[in-house]
């Protein structure tokens, strides 16, 4: 649900339009280091809202994970 009127001001949403289907997918890779507590990895996600002029977003991250 979109609850901002900013998207309406720039004509991405129609007046009164607040709901859309969202497609969200992600994937990642993680490599366990010799020390069993640490691992390195990277991941990415993508999002698509087709009813709001096909709003799209992609994000990515690299990380060092510590597990006990």
Q: Which of 41, 40, 16 is nearest to 27 (CA)?
A: 41
**Which tens digit of pLDDT belongs to each residue from 19-64?**
778 899 999 999 999 988 999 999 999 999 887 777 899 999 999 9
Q: What is the residue whose two structure tokens read 């969200």?
A: 24
Contact assessment for residue 30 and residue 40, using Cβ atoms and an 8 Å cutoff:
yes
Q: Within 13 A of 60's CA, how many CA atoms are on the CB side?
A: 4
Q: What is the C-alpha to C-alpha distance for residues 32 and 40, in angstroms, rounded to an integer?
A: 7
pTM score, whole prediction: 0.63
Q: Position of tokens 């991405």?
A: 12
Is pLDDT larger for residue 3 or for residue 39?
39
User: What are the helix (H) ranges across the chain?
Assistant: 6-9
């Amino acid at each position: 649900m979109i609850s901002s009127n900013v998207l309406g001001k720039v004509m991405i949403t129609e007046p009164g339009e607040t709901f859309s289907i969202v497609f969200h997918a992600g994937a990642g890779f993680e490599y366990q280091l010799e020390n069993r507590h640490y691992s390195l990895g990277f991941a990415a996600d993508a999002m698509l809202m087709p009813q709001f002029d096909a709003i799209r977003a992609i994000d990515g991250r690299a990380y060092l994970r510590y597990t006990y």
